[in-house]
Amino acid sequence: MRKALVLALIVLAGILAGPVSVKAQSVADVVTPNFFNGILNQADASCAGKNFYSRDAFLQAVNSFPQFGTADDIRREVAAFFAHVTHETGHFCYIEEINGANGDYCDETNTQYPCNPDKDYYGRGPIQLSWNFNYGPAGQSIGFDGLNSPETVATDPVISFKTAVWYWVNFVQPVISQGFGATIRAINGALECNGGNPATVQARINYYTDYCNQLGVDPGPNLTC
């Protein structure tokens, strides 16, 4: 009888106190060494990014952007971010866009962030940051001269990851609740969505669903764009 009374009192105390608070997962909890290295280890030993990208550099970058990982489900957001990074860099193989220097990534009409004629603004880093109108504000936010020293994104791994996270929280995270397809559109929709490059879209989706499976989260609806 006494045991039953004690149990009843414990239950009542729990009800009065409300639900027990459970600490939310952090980005570091989700992006474990096994998860990160599982991507990196698929890059060939000769890849430039093999000794450039690291989990430590990523976590240092994320520390500057506390809003990263605050979408509906941190695991789903991490899966989406790394799906795009995997596709853009070939499992962290590439730091710079292949033949990027042969392209013209200067928008001369953008007077707020004018191009330095001696610099190129092709894709660099985990998200392959491109164009002067991205390098300029990214540099201002992060603390490097994006217009006059865009190559910093390919030489400093922490800044490199910061540019990726900067782009993510400003242009991708706001649409992530619409599904993974919306994140594709935010990153490269003009070239890939609406039938532009269905094979590339599917490749991104495949990475995303794989990472969702690894992290134990449902990919959700609206995967394609």
Q: Read off the DSSP letter of residue 27.
A: H
* Band of residue 90 on the pLDDT scale cut at 50, 70, 90: very high
C-beta contacts of 204-212 below 8 A and 24+ residues apart: 204/83, 204/84, 204/87, 204/180, 205/83, 205/180, 207/82, 207/83, 207/84, 207/86, 207/87, 208/79, 208/80, 208/83, 208/180, 210/83, 211/35, 211/78, 211/79, 211/82, 211/83, 212/75, 212/76, 212/79
Among 20-34, 62-76, 153-167, where is mean pLDDT lowest?
A: 20-34
Percent of the chain with pLDDT over 70: 89
In whole numbers, what is the pLDDT of the chain averaged over residues? 90
Q: Is the pLDDT of residue 85 over 60?
A: yes
At residue 24, the pLDDT reads 54
| pLDDT greater than 50 at residue 42 | yes
CATH 1.10.530.10 fits 29-215, yes or no: yes
- Please write the tens of the pLDDT for every residue from 92-101: 999 999 999 8
Catalytic residue among 88, 96, 97, 192: 88
133 pLDDT higher than 90: yes
pLDDT for the residue numbered 149: 98
Residue 181 above 80 pLDDT?
yes
Domain ranges across the chain: 29-215
Active-site residue, 77 included:
no
Query: Binning pLDDT at 50, 70 and 90, where does residue 41 land?
Result: very high
* pLDDT of 81 higher than 80: yes
Please indicate, yes or no, whether the overall pTM of this predicted structure exceeds 0.85.
Answer: yes
